[in-house]
Structure formats: C-alpha cells, structure tokens
Amino acid sequence: MNTEQIIIIGAGPCGLASAIELQSIGLNPLIIEKRNIVHSISQYPTYMHFFSTPELLEIGNIPFTTANDKPSRLEALNYYRNVALRSKVRVHAYETVKHVSPLSGGGFQLISEDRYGEALTYRAPAVIVSTGYFDHPNELGIPGEQLDKVSHFFREAHPYTGTKVAIIGGSNSAIDAALELERVGADVTVVYRGDSYSPSIKPWVLPTFQSLVGKDRIAIRFQSRVVEIGPRTVTVENGDGREQLANDFVLALTGFHPDRDFLTAMGVTIETEGYPTFNDATMETNVPGIYLAGVVASRREANEIFIETGRFHGRKIAAHLVESGYVLPE
C-alpha cells in the first residue's frame, strides 16, 4: 500500500491549483488522473476561445500571457501543462481511481487501476475530488441515442461538411457549434426546448446567429425536443405535434453532471438539485476529510467560469487543513 500525505483525484486546472496551494503549506500531494493533464480542455472544440480573459484563468501565481483578448484552447493547454511542469506537481496520468473508502483508524483507502490493468492501493488522511463533469453527459433517454451518429461533444466542423446536422440544446456550446457548422456548408437545425434564445448566449455572438436564422442559413425549432433518432432521420416534437427531419448527425449538447455514483459510494450525499453536499467555506463534503474542488462543486451549468472561481477552492482547502491541525501519515 502506498501512503500519501493527501491525494487529489483529477488533474484539471482546479486540481492543479489545489496541488500548488497544498505545496505552499508544506504538503506533497499526489494527483491521480485517469487521462492526461487538463483532459477536459483537450476535449473542447479545436478552435475554441475562452470567454474569460487570461488573468482569470491563472493558477499558481504564474502569468498566463496571450496576444489575444481571450486565450485559445491550444494556449490554455500549453499554459496548464507548463504550470504543472514548473511547479513539479506529481501526477499519475492514465490511472483511474475506482474506489475510495474510509479506514477504521482514520483516513481513506483508494483503489486504482493503471493503463495496463494493474490494481494499485493508496492510503491518505484526506482526499480532494476534482473530477469535473465532462465524462458524464446528460443523456436524453430517447430511442436511437446510442447510434454512432450521435455525439455529446463537438470538436470541429470539418467532418460535417455537406451533411444534415441536428443540434440539441440552446447554450453557448450549441450556438458556437451551429455557427462553425454553417461556415463549412453543413445544413444545421437547432432544437431547443426554450421559447426564445437563452440569456447565457454571449452577447457578441447572438446577433450573428440571429442574422443567419433570419436568412434561413440556420434553422431553429423553439419549444421543441427530439423524441427519437433514426439512422437517417430525427423526430422533433412541439406544441403542434411531431415532424420528421432528414438527418445525418446529431450533436446532443445538453450539458454534463458529476459522477454521482462515484461520490455516493464514498459516502458523499447528493442534494435534491443533483449536486454533492459540501461546505462553501472549506469545500469539505459531509464526509470529513473528503473535499471538492472545481466544477464538481458547481451548482449550475458547467463552463469556464468555474476555472475562474474553482482555482481558489484549493486555497480554502489548504486553509481548513491548517486550521484543523492536519495530521500527516507516519
């Protein structure tokens, strides 16, 4: 069994920020990450730019410089990778934590599996869960959702050139995807349950989108939902009944949720709204010694704003550990 001072699950921006904060109080944390450093950002659309300015995405007091007003996905990958290397944060990449369970004498046991299928066991007095959302999309629960033509992620528009694409959702991610798809010659229909445009859409993007809708270059169905996906069609339902649209691909951009089963298995309770229980001042859950950091602690739609706020979660955790007289393992 490997004994650690503290373990962080997840090497996203907020997990890295937490590790740096813990280093500042004399701890040597271990991050266990099931994929690569800042994997969620690597999953963002290839040519995406952040809504936030670079200084709002900084961690570890290391400046984030860019020639643009808003940094790109590639710039963010470079930045967070270099922060991890410069800070000498220990990261076990491509290793998946399977179970976290309390030990009778205090602390926790973690069982993980590396990329070769080998099981590993750890012990630590405290655990920080910084796992994000993006492996757990909100599913539609409709026939055909599991077809290969359906994706809950949008990476880039080029593969969809000349095809008929239905986008389910009305948030920034859906609108941005629709605009990129229209530029490459896709036939785009946005299906949105709201009765008008979402107030969360970036204000400088909305007029462009509305203009394309007005010119019939993008179609939108308000107060509608996709109720069935077929190999060559989608069925859309609204107050007037159902219509069947010719379709090649579906982008179900309906948001994400935390891994509730993983959290509840370690004893963390889930609020009725679907989010884990935690103390805002300390980030500690209802299970003493288990903390949350980053988007897993959000109470609304996940987006980069949680890097802006989540990067400070580690500071709260470090302060609480100092205040509570954190005891290191022997």
Residue 120's CB is within 10 A of a number of other CB atoms, namely 16
Q: Does residue 126 sit in the same domain as residue 275?
A: yes
Q: Does residue 263 sit in the same domain as residue 237?
A: no
Q: Does residue 6 sit in the same domain as residue 124?
A: yes
pLDDT in tens, 62-103: 999 998 888 999 999 999 999 999 999 999 999 999 999 999
Selection from 214, 136, 145, 220 nearest residue 177 by Cα:
220
Is residue 329 in some structural domain? no
pLDDT in tens, 20-54: 999 999 999 999 999 999 998 988 888 888 888 89
Q: Does residue 66 sit in the same domain as residue 158?
A: no
Q: How confident is the model at residue 306 (pLDDT cuts 50, 70, 90)?
A: confident
Q: Does residue 188 sit in the same domain as residue 267?
A: no
Q: How many domains does the chain have?
A: 2
Q: Does residue 289 sit in the same domain as residue 213?
A: no
Instruction: Tell me the whole-structure pTM to 2 decimals.
Output: 0.84
Q: Does residue 35 sit in the same domain as residue 116?
A: yes
| pLDDT value, residue 43 | 85
Residues present in the chain in total: 330
Is residue 328 in some structural domain? no
| Res. 305: pLDDT tops 60 | no
Kindly list the distances between the CA atom of residue 123 and the CA atoms of 22, 89, 265, 303, in Å, as whole numbers in the listed order. 17, 19, 17, 32
Is residue 317 in some structural domain? yes
Q: What is the mean pLDDT of residues 13-18?
A: 96
Determine the Cα–Cα distance for residues 304 and 256; give it in Å rounded to an integer: 13
pLDDT in tens, 113-125: 999 999 999 999 9
Q: Does residue 10 sit in the same domain as residue 75?
A: yes
pLDDT in tens, 211-240: 999 999 999 999 999 999 999 999 999 999
Neighbouring residues of 25: CB distance < 8 A, sequence distance ≥ 6: 318, 321, 322
Residue 61's CB is within 10 A of a number of other CB atoms, namely 9
Determine the Cα–Cα distance for residues 46 and 159; give it in Å rounded to an integer: 13
Q: How confident is the model at residue 247 (pLDDT cuts 50, 70, 90)?
A: very high
Domain termination residue (choose one: 210, 231, 252): 252
Give me the domain span that covers residue 242.
Answer: 150-252
Determine the Cα–Cα distance for residues 59 and 311; give it in Å rounded to an integer: 6
Determine the Cα–Cα distance for residues 276 and 285; give it in Å rounded to an integer: 8
| Res. 327: pLDDT tops 70 | no
| pLDDT value, residue 330 | 53
Is residue 143 in some structural domain? no
